[in-house]
Structure 1
């Protein structure tokens, strides 16, 4: 055989070998990644682009990391089921999963609230540390399993604002008789101080404030609050939202569907939720400063809750925790774990991070940055 024939034939043989390898490899990959199509119902409307967007971000990463084989379609609140029935739909298998805030379901069992936020617990970084490295999410999934669910952290707003008030809140006495749109667990705590909590959907808050049906309302923070125009009818904007220091959003998956997923898809979904968790916090940190400036320019009057008010709320929260822990073993197990971690988390936070942040804030106030 001459040299040219050898090279030519070797080339064809090489190409054939490559083709054979490709034809062998592709079916193996296809078999390991079955085509799946899931539906995810959100508790949030599309207008809340950052919160609703976390589920879209999660679905995008899952789709891309599985070469399109695992596709999750995200539906806004009300498109498939009402927003506050999202977890029920996932548990029942009506949809494969939902994107929600677990504390919406605290009325079914207060343990749900511990997966999102409870008063005076964690900021967002501490919550993530507890979830990912203190085995917090493992503890939560022991509870979720009793509900037919599997949970993953999927978003965080950071510390929320304390709400919009028609009048100033100078003392604890000012809470007495006050009608406030405020979410579940916080409302239970504030009831101890005489406040009358109201459950009102986001779109109905503004007219209720305008008409005087309610005296105050909490929502999220500057970026989302700005869209609803609260400063026009309730000018006093209080902080901090002590009931939501680091509220985590949750992807709740039907437990049977989770167990059926190939390990590769479980890993893809877990990674995508973690990415969405980081992405959402970064998005709010970028959007909130400019929104706060616009709100103040539009008439919002920033007010901090006094230390006396915060202390009274802290005591009321502890009394509430003691009552629930006395009768709910699942709640007590997870809550006690959070409390133990909180002690060291705040010990560390006040050393380097707090000192650095405080110095830089003083430079900002002094006009140096």
Structure 2
């Protein structure tokens, strides 16, 4: 080999080695080794809800070649179910999967991140989040050291399990009912004594008679929890949860300290989990409902008179809360304006189509 070629090859090799040496630390900086802990507000037995957390963790791990791992814990394993967001805010854990309306004791505005009585359905909720709603939620959460991304929706829920029939508004008076969020305040206006109890403790409370009724989610989860064994009247709809959302809550400082690529991976993982949860409930609730009826559940609809009284009570509640909480008023007013347009559109095409198809289902012609 002549001297010129030798020098050329040596120089090329040297450049290649230097580039490799520079690339390795750069990659390491872009994808550092990070381990987080996620606490859920839901027991592992409620697999559709809890699996959203697992799905997020798996997606993040796979997308980072195992460099970013999230350890998931069920309700009560690290912190009590209804303190998940508090644990994130104070740095006990980096992340939670929870419902923001569990924390209305701190400010009623928390309810608007999940669902309010006579609020948005699931599809509208996601549309609102993507069109300014979740930005308002995060503006509200930031001073509390929190950041949130939508990470699940159950769809319109069932109105719950009752030991006796509810034929008039007077039948609700004096009932002790497990019910979360602002719905408890609205129910209180019509005579119910609301109880906030974590999901894993509801069956025992209903069985012992500590409560007279409970709402939870819908047929798939309710069958797993066995409520039909202790209260046979199964009411619908849950007018207080037309499209309840779950969020992934992050410690704001921890989230902001992540590489931008990790932030995007987390955002995408939450979006996928958000879509999957609703799809899974849509797929499984019909089968579970048929099984519950076979096990003795008596399906009953809240009548129009009850809905009208509760709607009025809800509007009174929002007027009161808007005076007390500027954050509630700001987010609520934005959501209300969105809701009016959404229902204007929904009744044109979607409602007409769905109504016709439901008639075919009832006629057995599908």
Alpha-carbon separation, structure 2, partners of 1:357 and 1:16:
68
- Per the alignment, residue 33 of structure 1 pairs with 31
- Per the alignment, residue 4 of structure 1 pairs with none
1:161 aligns with 2:158: yes
- Per the alignment, residue 304 of structure 1 pairs with 301
Q: Per-residue CA shift, 1:88-142, capped at 9, x if unaligned?
A: 110011111111111000111111111011111111110000001x211111111
- Per the alignment, residue 99 of structure 1 pairs with 97
**Equivalent residue for 1:223, pick from 210, 220, 224:** 220
Query: After alignment, is 194-203 or 336-345 more displaced?
Result: 194-203
Query: After alignment, is 46-55 or 209-218 more displaced?
Result: 209-218
Alpha-carbon separation, structure 1, partners of 2:109 and 2:153:
19
1:51 Cα offset (Å): 0.7
Say which SS state the counterpart of residue 135 (structure 1) adopts: helix
Alpha-carbon separation, structure 1, partners of 2:280 and 2:20:
41
Alpha-carbon separation, structure 1, partners of 2:346 and 2:214:
30
**Equivalent residue for 2:137, pick from 135, 140, 162:** 140
Alpha-carbon separation, structure 1, partners of 2:221 and 2:50:
12
Alpha-carbon separation, structure 1, partners of 2:345 and 2:96:
35
1:21 Cα offset (Å): 6.8
1:78-117 counterparts in 2 under 5 A? Answer: 78-117=76-115
1:62 Cα offset (Å): 1.2
- Per the alignment, residue 6 of structure 2 pairs with none
**Equivalent residue for 2:183, pick from 160, 183, 186:** 186
1:167-182 counterparts in 2 under 5 A? Answer: 167-182=164-179
Alpha-carbon separation, structure 2, partners of 1:15 and 1:227:
64
Length-normalised TM-score, structure 2:
0.93
Alpha-carbon separation, structure 2, partners of 1:18 and 1:324:
65
Length-normalised TM-score, structure 1:
0.92
Alpha-carbon separation, structure 2, partners of 1:98 and 1:141:
15
**Equivalent residue for 2:319, pick from 322, 333, 336:** 322
- Per the alignment, residue 148 of structure 2 pairs with 151
1:184-333 counterparts in 2 under 5 A? Answer: 184-333=181-330
Q: 1:43 to 1:20 in 2, by over 3 A?
A: same
Say which SS state the counterpart of residue 250 (structure 2) adopts: strand
1:338 aligns with 2:332: no
Alpha-carbon separation, structure 2, partners of 1:21 and 1:287:
53
**Equivalent residue for 1:362, pick from 348, 353, 359:** 359
Alpha-carbon separation, structure 2, partners of 1:327 and 1:353:
37
- Per the alignment, residue 125 of structure 2 pairs with 127
- Per the alignment, residue 72 of structure 2 pairs with 74
Q: 1:310 to 1:29 in 2, by over 3 A?
A: same
CA root-mean-square deviation:
2.2
1:18-29 counterparts in 2 under 5 A? Answer: 25-29=23-27
Q: Per-residue CA shift, 1:15-51, capped at 9, x if unaligned?
A: 9999987666444322211111111111111111111
Q: Per-residue CA shift, 1:293-315, capped at 9, x if unaligned?
A: 10001110111111111111111
Alpha-carbon separation, structure 2, partners of 1:323 and 1:15:
74
Alpha-carbon separation, structure 1, partners of 2:12 and 2:241:
63
Query: After alignment, is 29-38 or 351-360 more displaced?
Result: 29-38
May I ask how many residue pairs the two structures share in their alignment? Answer: 361
Say which SS state the counterpart of residue 35 (structure 2) adopts: strand
Alpha-carbon separation, structure 1, partners of 2:80 and 2:339:
35
Alpha-carbon separation, structure 2, partners of 1:274 and 1:331:
25
**Equivalent residue for 2:349, pick from 343, 352, 367:** 352
Say which SS state the counterpart of residue 237 (structure 1) adopts: strand
Alpha-carbon separation, structure 1, partners of 2:73 and 2:320:
38
**Equivalent residue for 2:51, pick from 30, 50, 53:** 53
Alpha-carbon separation, structure 1, partners of 2:226 and 2:146:
37
